[in-house]
Amino acid sequence: MSDDTRPPGAIIPGSHEPIVINADLPQTTVQVTNTGEIPVHLTAHFHVFEANPRLRFDRRKAYGMRPDVPAGGAIRFEPGETVPLQMVPIGGNRIVRGFNGLVDGPLDELDVDTALDRAIARGFLHQTEE
């Protein structure tokens, strides 16, 4: 079938090569421990720094980062479980709105130490990694 005879919405198969997401983006890994009593899900576009307060990890390393999972995907942390979480930088204009309100604006205009102090004051767990 030629391009001009395909119906609208036709699916055109691509190559059979695997699709690599987040190619060429720098990756950072933190060890995340769920200290809470219920499972926690972190979706693909969540600002990891602002994740559930009962998750203990190096929030400084997670500032401006999102999970390295496909759009629509998530990672799950069971109670008491420690899981390595791979992250990549948030792209685009790097503006974060919502989540837990720790940043609520341009990531690169807020000092990470100010944001971390705010998080700790609100009861978010933090554990520095070497």
Task: Work out the angle at residue 97's Cα, subtended by the Cα atoms of residues 128 and 64, and round it to the nearest 5 degrees.
Answer: 35
Which residue would you say has higher pLDDT here, 4 or 78?
A: 78
Supply the Cα-derived Rg of the chain in whole angstroms. 18
Structural domains in the chain? 31-121 (2.10.150.10)
Structure confidence by residue, pLDDT tens digits, 9-26: 887 877 788 878 888 899
Could you tell me the pTM of the whole model? 0.84
